């Protein structure tokens, strides 16, 4: 019998910001940094939309220990390459005060096309995220898994929200990245699909009406990957620490595994209206873990901590099968008790009164746990 890990492998993509250590501003140094980082990482490190960003991708991981080891290695190598260039690295979704107007677009055809097509949306798009792929080879089943997994997007976002500051101001949001991203036409929670054929027909229609050039530009928070036989979760903010990446990867795989088993059994599921999901999504972005969030099954507001426990209860069996319950649940409870990335950044600013101190904190958090 194929093991859980062999069936549901994981891949993680992280986007990092490049920091000038003197000014703490974003630094458009990606080209020189990438040249240096690729010496050890090869294609596992890539450019991103801005010259002040880079992206890394783990190999296919069987276990959460694999995820941890690869994320540690990738962060360590990129941090070291940045240090040799006189720069630093921060894993965070929005820089606390650098202005998007000062961030050049990476001169790559895909990014230049985005700038041409989406204009101001691309110009203001100086944000980072964390994307998790979970292997699922049966595309018909993958659509049914998406239908079930979409209701868990909001609690994942609440746990990882790390973008409270924008252009030197506290936005009042835990994840302002979500609000910036939500303006793009193919963002947000995915719709329900009766079949893979219906999914394919919609994608073809979107291309026909000029909404997208190709299916890789469907940017839903949960989507079928076009490059791999995976389901890709794109809802979470950039994770400050390695521990948070491991937590997110473990939760997402457990959600996919749980929904897969429900689909195999053809269990009935809650067909939540898109309007309800968008409100749930907005409240998670606005409040993170600090206020009540939407229980989309019961159509009511409950304390964020209770919704997180509902999620943990939903995926407990999958985590137990993988031998990951103790690790993932303890990491989740640590975030609930000590605050997500947005809460911790605000605490640094409250204590110091300087956003530069927030940037220093982000650099330290990114490097935490990466030493050999």
Q: Average pLDDT of 56-71?
A: 97
- Residue 125 phi/psi, 5-degree rounding, is -85, 75
Question: What's the CATH code of the domain at 333?
Answer: 3.30.590.20
Note the helical H segments in the chain: 4-7, 30-41, 64-84, 109-118, 120-123, 139-149, 153-160, 176-181, 196-208, 242-265, 274-287, 304-322, 325-338, 341-352, 355-367
Helix, strand, coil percentages for the chain (3-state, nearest 5): 55, 15, 35
Q: How far apart are CA 367 and CA 336, in angstroms?
A: 22
Residue 78 lies in a domain: yes
Residue 125 lies in a domain: yes
Say what the pTM is: 0.95
Residue 322 lies in a domain: yes
DSSP E strand stretches across the chain: 10-19, 45-47, 53-57, 88-90, 130-135, 165-166, 169-170, 222-224, 230-233, 292-295, 300-303
Instruction: Provide the residue range defining the domain that includes 336.
Output: 4-367
Contact (Cβ atoms closer than 8 angstroms) between residue 362 and residue 346: no
Q: Does 6 score more than 50 pLDDT?
A: no
Residue 323 lies in a domain: yes
Quickly tell me which residue has 């920091």 as its tokens: 19
Residue 372 lies in a domain: no
Which of 113-122, 151-160, 241-250 is predicted least confidently?
A: 113-122
Please calculate the CA angle 308-314-318 and round it to the nearest 5 degrees.
120
Of 71, 40, 239, 258, whose CA–CA distance to 157 is shortest? 239
Can you tell me whether residue 356 is helix, strand or coil?
Answer: helix
Span 357-368, pLDDT tens digits: 999 999 999 999
Task: Give the confidence band of 164 by pLDDT, cuts at 50, 70, 90.
Answer: very high
DSSP line for 267-323? -------HHHHHHHHHHHHHHTTSSEEEETTTTEEEEHHHHHHHHHHHHHHHHHHHT
Residue 37 lies in a domain: yes
Report pLDDT for 260: 96
Q: How far apart are CA 290 and CA 176, in angstroms?
A: 15
Which of 2-16, 90-104, 202-216 is predicted least confidently?
A: 2-16
Residue 16's beta-bridge partner residues? 54
pLDDT, the chain, mean: 95
Residue 224's beta-bridge partner residues? 231
Residue 130 lies in a domain: yes
Q: Count how many domains the chain has.
A: 1
Other CB atoms within 10 A of residue 134 CB: 26
Q: What are the tokens at 79?
A: 């941090």
């Amino acid at each position: 019998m194929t093991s859980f890990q062999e069936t549901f492998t994981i891949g993680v993509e992280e986007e990092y910001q490049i920091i000038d250590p003197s000014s703490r501003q974003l630094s458009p140094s990606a080209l020189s940094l990438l040249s240096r980082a690729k010496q050890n990482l090869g294609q596992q490190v890539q450019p991103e939309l801005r010259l002040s960003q880079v992206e890394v991708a783990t190999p296919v991981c069987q276990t959460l220990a694999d995820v941890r080891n690869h994320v540690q290695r990738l962060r360590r190598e990129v941090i070291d390459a940045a240090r040799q260039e006189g720069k630093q690295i921060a894993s965070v979704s929005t820089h606390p005060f650098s202005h998007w107007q000062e961030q050049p677009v990476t001169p790559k055809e895909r990014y230049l096309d985005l700038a041409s097509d989406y204009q101001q949306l691309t110009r203001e798009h100086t944000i980072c995220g964390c994307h998790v792929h979970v292997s699922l080879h049966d595309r018909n089943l993958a659509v049914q898994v998406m239908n079930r997994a979409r209701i868990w997007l909001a609690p994942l976002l609440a746990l990882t929200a790390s973008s409270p500051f924008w252009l030197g101001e506290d936005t009042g949001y835990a994840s302002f990245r979500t609000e910036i991203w939500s303006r793009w036409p193919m963002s947000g929670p995915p719709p329900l699909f009766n079949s893979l054929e219906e999914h394919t027909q919609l994608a073809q229609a979107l291309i026909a009406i000029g909404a997208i050039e190709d299916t890789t530009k469907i940017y839903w928070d949960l989507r079928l990957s076009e490059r791999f036989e995976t389901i890709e979760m794109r809802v979470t903010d950039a994770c400050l620490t390695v521990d948070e990446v491991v937590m997110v990867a473990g939760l997402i795989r457990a959600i996919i595994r749980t929904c897969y088993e429900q689909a195999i059994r053809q269990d009935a599921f809650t067909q939540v209206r898109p309007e309800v999901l968008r409100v749930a999504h907005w409240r998670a972005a606005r409040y993170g873990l600090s206020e009540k969030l939407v229980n989309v099954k019961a159509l009511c507001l409950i304390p964020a901590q209770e919704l997180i426990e509902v999620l943990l209860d939903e995926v407990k069996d999958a985590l137990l099968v993988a031998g990951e319950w103790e690790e993932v649940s303890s990491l989740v409870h640590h975030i609930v008790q000590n605050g997500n990335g947005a809460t911790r950044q605000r605490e640094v600013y409250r204590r110091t009164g300087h956003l530069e101190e927030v940037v220093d904190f982000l650099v330290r958090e990114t490097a935490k746990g990466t030493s050999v």
